[in-house]
Copies of this chain bind each other. A is one copy, B any other.
Amino acid sequence: MNTQRVEYASRVEKWKVFELSIDGPSDGNPFTDVELRADFSACGTSISVVASGFYDGGGVYKIRFMPGHEGRWDFVTSSNRVELDGHRGSFVCERAAPGAHGPVRVARGYHFAHEDGTRYLPFGTTCYAWTHQPDALQELTLTTLATSPFNKLRFCVFPKHYDYNRDEPELFPFEGSPEKGWDFTAFKPAFFGKLEKRIGDLLDLGIEADLILFHPYDHWGFSTMGQEADERYLRYIVARLCAYPNLWWSLANEYDLIKGKTIEDWERLAGILVEIDPYDHLRSIHNCMPFYDHSKPWVTHCSIQRQDVYKTAEYTDEWRAKYGKPIVIDECAYEGNINWGWGNITGQELVRRCWEGYVRGGYVGHGETFVDPNDILWWSKGGRLRGESSRRIAFLRRIAEEGPAEGMASISFGWSGWDLPSGGVEKEYYLFYFGFNRPLFRDFSLPPGGEYECEILDTWEMTITKLDGRFSGSFRVALPGKQYMALRAHKVGERAP
C-alpha cells in the first residue's frame, strides 16, 4: 500500500481537465526512467480511457484526463515505480459548464463541430511566438483576442528565431542553455506550465489552440534533435496537454523547410500522435511550398499556406475535391507592410481572400505584419491589432454564423456563373461574392419553386441592405458598382410554378 500524497478533485465538469497529482521519485532521470499511466473508466458503461502521466518536477507526477461522459469515474494508476503504482480513486463528472462544448471534430466532411454537436466555424489568426514574449505582452495579446473575431490561434511550442523575432525567450523547454547546449532528456516543467496556462487562458476566451509541435525557425537545435528526442518530446507534450479540450495538433509549420526530417519521419511522428492522444484532437501539417499529402488518414483537415502569390483561397473548391477534408487556409498572406510578399497585402485583399474561401466552403485565417518601431508584429509576438481586416472578418463571421447549419459548399450556376463564385445550400441559401469585380447590376437565376429574400452585403463597409419584395426564378439586381459586394439570398417560401 502506497503512502504517497495523491491529490485530485472529487468533481470536475465535463470536458474540463481532471488532474491527478502524485508524489514520486526524483532520483535518476524521472523523465526517462519512470513510466506512469492511469486507466479511467466510467461506471456502469464500457467507456474507458488510458491517460499517460508525466513528471512535473519537484518529485511530482501528474496524470491529466478530460472526461467526456457525465457520472462517476474510477481510475487506477500503473507504473514501473512502486510509489506511483496502483493508486485508485473516483470522482464525479458533472454537466458541462455553459459554453463548454468539448473538442472540435470534423463534421459533414468539410466542416467542424464540437463534441456536443455545436457548430464550430474557424476564424483563425496567428501569433507564432506569443507565449515566448514578456508576460505583459502576453496579457495584452489575450486582451486583444478577447474583443477580436478570432476563435482559433496558431502558435508554436518551441521558441522562434526569424525575421522580426530575434529575441531570446526567458524560458526554454529543456535543461541547458543556448551557450552550453541542451539536455533533451530533461524537460523544464516551468516552460510547459506557462504554455499550459496560456492554452487555458485561450480556453476561457473560447479560442482553440492550434499548437505547432515542430517548426523550422530555429537556431537552438530544437528542429534537429533527432528521432529519439523528437519522440520523447512528443510523448511528453501529449501527456501534458491532451486533456485540454481546445487543443489542435499542428504537427509542423512549414514542414518542408525543416532540415533533416523526411516524410517517413513525419509519418512516424504522426503515427505516435494518433496512438497516444486518447481524445483524437484535430491533426494537420502546414506547408511552405509543396503541400503535405493531406489525403493521409491521420490528417483530419488541410492546413494550407497558399502556394501561389496571386491565387490563394480561390482554389478552395479544388482542394476540397482533391482531399475530401475541411480546407483551412491558415496563411493566405497577412495584412501589413513588411518587406515580404506574404506580409504586405492590404486589409481589403486579406478580407477578399477570406470571403473567396468562405463562399467555396473553406476557412481562411488572418494574420498581421505591420512594421513596428519595437518589432512587435502581431503574427509573431501578438500585442495589438492595427489593421483594417479584423473588423471585416468579424462581419464575415456574423454572416457565417447566420449561414446554413450544414456549412457552405460551392454552388455552380454553370456558364452564367463563371465569374461570380457562389456557395450555400441548394434551394435554401445562396451567397454570391463579387470580390474585386464591381458591376452596376447582375442577373440572377434561382431555382424555380422558391421565393427568396435578397440582401446586398457590402463586405468592406459592413452593411446589409435588404431588397424590397421576394424574388423567384430570374431577376436583375442593381448594385453599387463597388468592389467587395455580395448578394445573400435565402428561401422564405414556395411559389406555385
Identify the A interface with B (CB < 8 A).
308-311, 314, 337-342, 344-346, 349, 371, 418-420, 436-443, 481, 483
Contact = CB atoms under 8 A, between A and B. Distances in A.
Contact of A344 (B309, B344, B437): B437
Given A311-B310, A438-B346, A418 B341 contact: yes
Given A309-B418, A342-B419, A483-B346, A337 B371 contact: no
B340 A419 contact: yes
B419 A309 contact: yes
A440 B372 CA distance: 11
11 contacts: A309-B314, A337-B440, A338-B440, A339-B443, A341-B418, A341-B420, A344-B437, A344-B440, A344-B481, A349-B436, A371-B440
Contacts of A438: 337, 344-346
A394 to B, nearest CB: 23
A419 B79 CA distance: 54
Contacts of A342: 419
Nearest to A308: B311
Contacts of A338: 439-440
A312 to B, nearest CB: 9
Contacts of A339: 439-443
A438 B418 CA distance: 30
Nearest to A356: B310
A99 to B, nearest CB: 39
Interface centre among A311, A341, A419, A438 (most CB of B within 10 A): A341
B437 A481 contact: no
B344 A439 contact: yes
Nearest to A314: B310
Contacts of A436: 345-346, 349
Contacts of A441: 339, 371
A392 to B, nearest CB: 17
A375 to B, nearest CB: 13
Contact of A310 (B310, B420, B481): B310
A222 B345 CA distance: 48
A340 B314 CA distance: 18
Nearest to A348: B436
Interface centre among A310, A340, A345 (most CB of B within 10 A): A310
B420 A481 contact: no
A419 B341 CA distance: 5
A141 B440 CA distance: 24
Given A340-B419, A419-B340, A345 B437 contact: yes
A162 to B, nearest CB: 15
Contacts of A309: 314, 418-419
A341 B443 CA distance: 12
Contacts of A442: 339
B481 A337 contact: yes
A420 B438 CA distance: 27
A432 to B, nearest CB: 12
